[in-house]
């Protein structure tokens, strides 16, 4: 059986929303299985170019043989640095699909899912030092409780943190099944377990910090008339993207001129489009996706 690395959500809507120019410069900051990148390349002419970023070395297995394509093995938080390296001063379109690839959830040894027995890892960048096991065994009860509430929206996060800390005094929590047992979340409560694992994954990979860095770089690098398309999958990241595209800043503060006009550098194109029922039937993981697109003002 051939593994499906990732099925992009709202692929047609995302690519159309980028309004791709054949001779433009584009960046896919979440290469993954390469679905979005291949679609962008299909719209580029001989003078166009696409840069695709991914911090996971596994993504290299999906490399594209095209002279118009450059792969950058890096976290997208370093977008500005890499564009400086390649001499790119203006980008016509940036795409970010913030969903975790099927590959990560379905690859047992990566430790992203409670469905498999595996080391408690969860690193997107496999050369990074800190794993999920390091976090659950070293963070204080208060730090874990805040983490589970903030990134997992777990109302019983404090109780879960207390259970974990009590367990680790007896034995280290090193595997996915150890975490499930230590949390004392019943195995049939899959949504609660998914939120627990999500919270740890976000922390391990500093996903919110990386997203903030990327959004600021994207704002500064987009050419006038250039577009940014972002697919989000949980409320925390969606709120950040929504407020940033509305205001143009991380605080979400909308500044106005003397006449009351919004001074945001963006014009909103898509304000949280969701996948169609037909797409969700084909790809159930698209049900939580929201597409937001904005254009840099001239």
Quote the Cα angle for 78-6-223, to 5°. Answer: 40
Instruction: Describe the strand order of the beta sheet including 222-232 as a list of residue ranges.
Output: 69-73, 49-54, 25-28, 91-97, 222-232, 290-296, 266-274
- The whole-angstrom separation of Cα 182 and Cα 184 is 5
Report the share of the chain in percent with pLDDT over 70.
Answer: 95
The yes-or-no verdict on residue 1 having pLDDT over 60 is no
Q: Are 149 and 181 in contact (CB under 8 A)?
A: no
What one-character DSSP code corresponds to residue 170? Answer: T
CA end-to-end span of the chain, whole Å?
Answer: 49
Name the band, by pLDDT with cuts 50, 70 and 90, for residue 106: low
Q: Which of 57-66, 219-228, 238-247 has the lowest mean pLDDT?
A: 57-66
- The whole-angstrom separation of Cα 52 and Cα 95 is 9
154 CB neighbour count, 10 Å cutoff: 22
pTM listed for this prediction: 0.93
Mean pLDDT within 263-274: 97
Between residues 6 and 3, which one has the greater pLDDT? 6
- The whole-angstrom separation of Cα 146 and Cα 153 is 10
Coil vs helix vs strand at 5: coil
- The whole-angstrom separation of Cα 199 and Cα 287 is 19
Spell out the domains of the chain, with CATH numbers in brackets. Answer: 11-102+207-296 (3.40.50.150), 129-204 (1.10.150.170)
Report phi then psi at 69, rounded to 5. -125, 135
Task: Pull the structure tokens for residue 25.
Answer: 């410069």
The yes-or-no verdict on residue 207 having pLDDT over 90 is yes
pLDDT in tens, 80-104: 999 999 999 999 999 999 987 665 5
The yes-or-no verdict on residue 69 having pLDDT over 70 is yes
- The whole-angstrom separation of Cα 113 and Cα 180 is 10
Total length of the chain: 298
Coil vs helix vs strand at 88: coil
pLDDT for res 126: 86
Name the band, by pLDDT with cuts 50, 70 and 90, for residue 176: very high
- The whole-angstrom separation of Cα 145 and Cα 151 is 10
Mean pLDDT within 105-112: 69
């Amino acid at each position: 059986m051939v593994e499906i690395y990732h099925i992009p959500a709202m692929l047609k809507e995302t690519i159309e929303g980028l309004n791709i120019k054949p001779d433009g410069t584009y960046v896919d900051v979440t290469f993954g299985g390469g679905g979005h990148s291949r679609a962008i390349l299909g719209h580029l002419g001989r003078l166009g170019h696409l840069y695709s970023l991914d911090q996971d070395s596994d993504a290299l297995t999906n490399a594209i043989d095209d002279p118009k394509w450059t792969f950058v093995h890096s976290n997208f938080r370093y977008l500005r640095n890499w564009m400086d390296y390649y001499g790119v001063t203006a980008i016509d379109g940036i795409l970010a699909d913030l969903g975790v690839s099927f590959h990560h959830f379905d690859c047992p040894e990566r430790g992203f899912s409670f469905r498999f027995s595996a080391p408690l890892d969860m690193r997107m960048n496999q050369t990074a030092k800190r794993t999920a096991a390091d976090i659950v065994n070293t963070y204080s009860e208060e730090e874990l409780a805040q983490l589970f509430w903030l990134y997992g929206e777990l109302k019983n996060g404090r109780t879960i943190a207390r259970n974990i800390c009590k367990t680790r005094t007896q034995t280290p929590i090193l595997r996915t099944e150890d975490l499930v047992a230590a949390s004392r979340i019943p195995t049939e409560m899959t949504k609660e377990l998914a939120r627990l694992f999500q919270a740890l994954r976000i922390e391990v990979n500093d996903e919110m910090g990386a997203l903030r860095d990327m959004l600021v770089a994207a704002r500064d690098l987009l050419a006038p008339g250039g577009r940014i398309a972002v697919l989000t999958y949980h409320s925390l990241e969606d709120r950040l993207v929504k407020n940033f595209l509305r205001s143009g800043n991380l605080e979400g503060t909308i500044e106005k001129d003397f006449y009351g006009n919004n001074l945001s550098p963006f014009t909103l194109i898509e304000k949280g489009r969701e996948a169609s029922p037909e797409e969700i039937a084909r790809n159930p993981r698209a049900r939580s996706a929201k597409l937001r697109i904005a254009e840099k003002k001239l």
